[in-house]
Amino acid sequence: MPFVKEKFHIEEEVIAFLYVMRTLNFTQGQAQRHIAKGRLLIDGQSMTHTGKMVKGDIEMVFFRAKGRGENALFHNKDFMVFEKHSGVLVHPNTMATPYSMLDEVRTLAGDNANACHRIDMETSGLLLASKHKTAERKLKKMFETKEIKKSYLAWVDGELTESFSSYESISVNKGGYETTKHKVFIDPDGKASHTDFTPLTYDEKLDATLVACYPHTGRTHQIRVHLFHVKHPILGDPIYGATYEASDDYLDLTQSPEERLIQHGASRLMLHAHSIKFTYGADYYIESKSDFRAMKDLICEKDKRVFNRG
């Protein structure tokens, strides 16, 4: 379990956030957030006052990385790139999360290492992570200023024959999950979004097209909703392209593997982060070693799948 609870004894009275900083090698901000989240306990009760003086026996809950031996595809003194498998979170979403890519990142590079961008749990492919705080700040800023270029591969429902671009604006769903499970929507009043798409190959037997995707903005679920909008949703997408009932079953964890395959068109989201390109002192272009094209074996036969093209 990455989050552990351990007992500590404080001999001399000290300000709470200072003790956390020294003990867990945190910055002041990290220590104050740690306490504010209730992860310092006295007599079994969370103490959230960061400036309070503490002494004696306490407990702290903190993240302790436990990697599973996933080696970085590339690394240097500042950053590393991993191949993330579908179904693995980048960061733990609760203290009960048994494993995430953060375990591998910090097992390799220590407690100040961190993932620098998001990848959906079911998306596979390249994950860029920093080895220290200076690199983290710089790389995250480069994502914000679009200095880091990514490409994806996707297996989509139906045949696509021509390259195209989507400039459809996207809004986050503020509610209304009673009729749809979509997290974002195409909305003319939403945030500007841009993705280029190029079809690579069509599998007639599966009625599926392998598509290269080039996002120029970084909106939530951007590639997924742009492809759904043109009625070629990504196969295996449990949200966009699925019925309300099928999405609900998936989110409630009540869907069997057989139902997942038939109701969503594949046993996983068929989206893969394929390459990443940026300049960080030198020019870097890193490409996934995974054979995503061969992963079409995970797609349900076209005559058996139940799919909603919108």
Start-end of H helices in 127-236: 133-144, 222-229
**Interstrand relation of 184-186 and 53-63 (parallel, antiparallel or unpaired):** unpaired
Question: Taking CA 225 as the corner, what is the angle to CA 156 and CA 212, rounded to the nearest 5 degrees?
Answer: 45
DSSP 58: E
- State whether residue 91 is helix, strand or coil: coil
Decide if 120 is catalytic.
Answer: yes
Q: Which of 120, 157, 207, 237 is catalytic?
A: 120
CB contact at 8 A, 84 and 124: yes
Quickly list DSSP for 257-305. HHHHHHHHSBSS--EEEEEEEEEESEEEEEE--S-GGGGGGGBPPTTT-
DSSP 254: -
Distance of alpha carbon 139 from alpha carbon 113, whole angstroms: 12
- State whether residue 101 is helix, strand or coil: helix
Type of residue at 219: R
CA 269, chain centre distance (Å): 13
Burial class (CB in 10 A: 0-12, 13-18, 19+), 172: middle
User: Where in the sequence numbering do the catalytic residues fall?
Assistant: 120
